[in-house]
Every structure is written in structure tokens, then in C-alpha cells.
Chain A
Amino acid sequence: MTYQLETAAHPETLRRVAIDPVSRVEGHGKVTILLDDQNKVHQVRLHIVEFRGFEKFIQGRPYWEVPVMVQRLCGICPVSHHLAASKALDVIVGAKKLTATAEKMRRLMHYGQMLQSHALHFFHLCSPDLLFGFDSDVTKRNIVGVAMAHPETAKRGVLLRRFGQEVIRVTAGKRVHGTGAIPGGVNKALTVAERDELLKDIYHIVQWSRDAVQLIQKVHTQDPGLYNSFGIFRSNFMSIVGHNGDLDFYHGTLRARDDNGKIIFDHVDYQQYNQYIEEEVRPWSYMKFPYFKSIGKEHGWYKVGPLARVQNCCQISTPFAEHERKEFVDYAGGSPMHAPLAYHWTRMIEMLHAAEVIKELLHDDDLLGSDLMVQGERQSEGVGVIEAPRGTLFHHYRVDENDLITMANLIVSTTNNNQAMNEAIRHVARRYLHGHEVTEGLLNHIEVAIRAFDPCLSCATHALGKMPLEVELVDPEGRIVHSLSRS
């Protein structure tokens, strides 16, 4: 445990290294590291630079606007926010059970989202580190470098991502700002032409997803010394699971396990999430630190996302992904795998599962139905939870008698992983930076650990020329003694 590296005893006497912003993650994050004159690490923190303020932004708005508005949170996973908000508002409009067409359309949209996001993360953001090495030539360590060295891999990444975006477009109406889900259902079904268009490619998509699992499994198992230990720390896990304990990204109940795999709580109705989870505020970060109330803030924090989901579920319903899950569990030797780099392996298992589910759904005629909406007794409060690509995502709203939002609480996936990411970079800082001269390659190790979690650090501001990466070493008097720049 490197928890003690959160706050140094005498920070004013130490020099500061900043990675600002962290690159190849979604949004803006900053890492600060405090070192003494011998380059010994005393403090490491991941800061969220940008304050989202979305919970205030939507107060006073009519509730039916919310599923569309919340998509503005993120340009990578707008569908996750769209669906989590819609699920919360299903409760508000009294829609206890959606029609088969509505639920399957939402599932298709969501599994398309999972496919495109995981493909983007693996091929675009992380494959440069995995294929070239963490401290390889920085001018090649990007997707364009991958395209030059491994054109077929890069092309598959592009086509997988495009397919997922197409699934979103036909289910939500647009690739971003879609309006497919509405409180109580959906506003469109699939047409035969749309279904047939997607069916033309789905068999390639499944096969390429299987190949991607093989690729990351090979990369991981060829260097177990690195992949099984890099940034490792033990923690609890949390995710939703289906009613049989299946992996389910769209709906289910909350399950948590401890670091040995023992169940902490199971089949918890997420409408009561705030009886189980508390959010701690710390003065140095805009992002909160959630933990399980029953364990307490010091040891009650947890991981979410692919590594948690694949190990939290009892089985996966689709055959190829279930085969790969078993391979992963066997490799881990029966105990939970805690290595952050194993996120990549499990993420590709999930991408394969998403592709298989999409294939199954495209053969289901319920998607072509016309019964789209249900309503019931109006409620004043609702919680929606979904497994977003990065992990469990909570949307919680209260609505007044004028249909206006009076309270919103969002716990986004990256917030659930906040303490876990901090622990990972502290481990890496101690292992790779402690006592060494800081170089760009060593600093990239910190970023590799963060990227494994696929964080989304408040998204979608991206103006040209706005995102250089600068690292500055500052002495105790505030003078810059060394700097690196990627602008």
C-alpha cells in the first residue's frame, strides 16, 4: 500500500514535477510529484484540472431534456450518460418494465458504445505503448505510428470503431447528441434496411474482436514480469451483474468483492446505492473519492471497469467471450488479478462480448417492433445505473411538481476509480522514479498506469492548439530547473 504518498510531511521543501495534461486519456488531468534533492518520491497526486459542474448545470431544467443534455459531458461515451439518465427517468415516469423493443434497442445502442469505446481506447490510445514500449521514441508512440508499423492492426481499429459508431447512429439517430432513449422507452425501432446493413459486417467485427483478445493476451503473457506487477495494488471491486451473476453492461444489481474475491455485498438494488457508497471530498482535488460505507474510507475504496466486471461476474453469456474469460481466470490462478495492465486484456474480452451480443440482437425481430413506450405512476426521485466502458456510472435525480430537476448527483466511472488510479501511479512512481533522474520515458510510465483505467477526465474541449504536454521541474524557490515539452 502506497497510501502514505498522498501527502508529504513538508511539501514546501520539495521540488515539484507536473505532467499537465496527461496525454492520450479522455480530457484534462494533471499529475504532480514531489521529489527531494535525491529524487526520492514523497508525494504523488492525480488532479482533475477541469471542474465539470454538470450537476448544477442541469438543475432547473425539465426532466425530459436531461438524457440529451448529459451527453455534453463527453465526446467519447455520450451514450452511457444518455442511457444512465434515461434509466433514472424511467423511474420518474413510473416505467417499471420497458417493452422488449425498447430495452433491446437500448441494449444495442449500449453494446455499440462499448464496442467503439473499447476499440478506440485499445487501438488508438494504448496500443502505441503496448506495441512499441513505454519509453520508445515519443514521435512514434501514437496511433499514426501504429498505422505505419502495423497497418492491418490500425485499420481494424478504425473499422471496429466505425462499426460501433454506426450502431449508435442507427439506434440513437446521430453518432453524438442522439435522442434514441426517452423516459419510459425509445423513440424509434430499427428498420430492416438498418439491420441488414449492420449484419453485413458483424461477422468480421466478431472475428477481429477475437483477434484483438489474442493480441493482448500474447502481449501480456510474453512479459509477465512487467504486466503482472506494473502499478499493482490490491483493492475491492464493484460492478453491476445480471440476475444470474452474468456479465451485463446495461442492467442488473450491484455486487462488490474484496481483494481476495470474497463477496462484500450482492444483488443490491441500485436505487439504494447511497446506503452502500459514500463520496469523500479532499481539498486538493475537484473529483470525489467514493468508498464502501461498511468498510470505511481508508480501506473501502474499489476498482470499477473491465478488470472488476470480468472478475465480478460468474459467467459471460456469449461463447467466445466466456471462453476468453475462463482463459483469463485460469491465468490468474484462481485469485483476483489486481495488475492495472490486465485492464487491457479484460477490456478486449468485453469488446468481444459486445460484438457477440450485437450479433445476437441483430437476429432478434423484437428490434423491429412498434411498441416503444410505457408509463406508470409518476415518482419524484430516480436512480439510473449502467456499466459504462470505464465502469459503473450512477445518475440520480429529483424532480419537482413542475417537472423541473431539483437535485442531480452523478458518480461517473472515473470518479469510482479515483483512489485506484492514485494508488497505481504512486506505485509506479516509487518503482520507476524513486531515486532516478526524471526523463520523458519514465514519466510516460505514470501515464501508462493512468491510461490502463481508461479515465474520462471531463471531456470534449479540444480547441486546436490547446493541449500541449509540458513537464516542469521546479525547485523549492519556484525556479524552473528543467522542462520537457510535447507541444
Chain B
Amino acid sequence: MSAPVVIFAVGNPSRGDDALGPECYGQLEKWLKNEMLADQFELIEDFQLQIEHALDLQGRQLALFIDAGANTPGPFTFARIAPATGAAYTTHELPPEAVLQVYLQTEGQEPPPAFVLCIRGEQFELGEPLSAAASRHLEAGFSLLVSLCRQPSVAAWEQAAN
């Protein structure tokens, strides 16, 4: 039986602020255990989003993608997303919208309601730690994440979306 909510946290922990997703994953995993909420959420950490992640959307009521952003508004953005065909020009990974679209095409049905939490990063160099600015952005983003996990419903998340 799948957990009702799936949360994808993506990023390479060795590449500066690209680690925002994995950092969020680690903190959230501990928090969910402490709050006895772990069985309500499946957390998936990966370097990049890929086509097979569409299959992780099966049987979910809600989906959340957490990623670092470059040149995106700070400290974070939180928005509902829809399947999109025109967003797949990036190099080696799928944007969250395209993962939804792959689900739509391969499963023949609408994907679950999905949202993106994009936390602004500043530097993405190999071997660098999280920047000070990204740490502050993470703190702000994690506060929102906690409130989302306390109220995992489409209505509550839409209200929180900017």
C-alpha cells in the first residue's frame, strides 16, 4: 500500500547548494519520525528526476517535488504544477512538469495533484558546502514544509501556494 503523499527531494549533496534537496530530505525524514507521521509520506531522494519517477506517482493523493533553484526567487517558491510537454529541453533530467506528463502518457490518467518547493541556491560548485544564503533559504523553506506535512490536503497546499 503506497503512502498517500510522495515527496521527491533531488540534488547532488557534493555540489554546493545543489544539496538543498537532500538536506531537506534528511531534516524531513527525522521530523516525520519524531511526529509519528512517517507512514503517511514516502520520501524519495535522487540526483535528478528521471522518467521512472513517473511510476512513483501511482496511487498517491498528493506529490511534492523539492529542488534547488538557480536565479529563482528567494528564499523559496511554492506552486502547484501541471503536466507540461514543452519543458523538456534541459540536458539530463526531467523537470517536475514533464514527470507528470510522462505519467499522463504512460498511465493514461491524470497524475495526482502536484506541487514544487523550489529553494533558491547561490553556488553549485563541486566540493562546496551549502552557502550561508542557501542555509537561510532552507530554514524558511523547511518551516513551510512542516506546515504542509501537518495538513496534507490539496486545499491547504493550494492556499499556501504563491
Contacts and interface: CB of A to CB of B under 8 A. Distances in A.
Interface of A: 21-28, 52-54, 57, 69, 72, 74-76, 78, 120, 123-125, 138-140, 142-145, 147-148, 151, 154-155, 157-159, 161-162, 165, 175-176, 459-469, 486-487
Interface of B: 10-15, 17-18, 45-48, 50-52, 54-55, 67-72, 85-86, 88-95, 98, 101-102, 105-106, 116, 118, 121, 124, 126-127
Nearest to A152: B106
A468 B17 CA distance: 19
Contacts of A463: 11, 17-18, 67-70, 121, 124
Contacts of B89: 23, 138, 142, 468-469, 486-487
Contact of A464 (B45, B72, B86): B72
B91 A25 contact: yes
B97 to A, nearest CB: 9
B50 A465 contact: no
B50 A161 contact: yes
Contact of A75 (B48, B55, B68): B48
A27 B91 CA distance: 7
Contacts of B106: 147, 151, 154-155, 158
A75 B85 contact: no
B107 to A, nearest CB: 9
4 A-B pairs with least C-beta separation: A75-B47, A147-B105, A72-B14, A142-B88
Contact of B47 (A69, A142, A161, A176): A176
Name the residue among B52, B70, B106, B126 with the largest chain A CB count within 10 angstroms: B52
18 contacts: A72-B13, A75-B46, A75-B92, A124-B51, A138-B89, A142-B88, A144-B98, A144-B105, A154-B105, A154-B106, A155-B106, A176-B46, A462-B92, A463-B18, A464-B69, A464-B95, A465-B72, A467-B91
Contacts, number: 150
B55 A76 contact: no
B67 to A, nearest CB: 5
B127 A460 contact: no
Contacts of B15: 72, 460-461
Contacts of A462: 10-12, 18, 47-48, 67, 90-93
Given A144-B98, A461-B12, A466 B92 contact: no
B30 to A, nearest CB: 18
Contacts of A75: 12, 46-48, 92-93
Contacts of A144: 85, 88, 98, 101-102, 105
B73 to A, nearest CB: 10
Contact of B85 (A74, A148, A157, A158): A148
Contacts of B45: 176
Contacts of B67: 462-464
Given A53-B127, A147-B106, A154-B106, A464 B91 contact: no
Nearest to B107: A155
Contacts of A159: 52, 55
B91 A21 contact: yes
B46 A464 contact: no
Given A54-B126, A461-B15, A464-B67, A27 B102 contact: no
A147 B102 contact: yes
A464 B68 contact: yes
A57 B95 CA distance: 29
B70 to A, nearest CB: 4
Contacts of B98: 142-144
A176 B67 CA distance: 17
A464 B118 contact: yes
A28 B91 contact: yes
Contacts of A25: 91-92
Contacts of B90: 23, 462, 467
A21 B46 CA distance: 22
Name the residue among A75, A154, A463 with the largest chain B CB count within 10 angstroms: A463
A154 B98 CA distance: 13
Nearest to A25: B91
A26 B91 contact: yes
Contacts of B14: 57, 69, 72
Contacts of B102: 143-144, 147, 154, 158
Contacts of B71: 465-466
Contacts of B48: 75-76, 460, 462
A313 B86 CA distance: 42
Given A147-B106, A158-B106, A461-B124, 13 more contacts: A26-B92, A57-B14, A143-B51, A144-B88, A144-B105, A159-B55, A460-B18, A461-B12, A461-B15, A462-B67, A462-B93, A466-B124, A467-B90
B92 to A, nearest CB: 4
Given A25-B92, A463-B67, A464-B95, A158 B101 contact: no
A120 B124 CA distance: 25
A153 B136 CA distance: 44
Given A143-B88, A465-B72, A120 B50 contact: yes
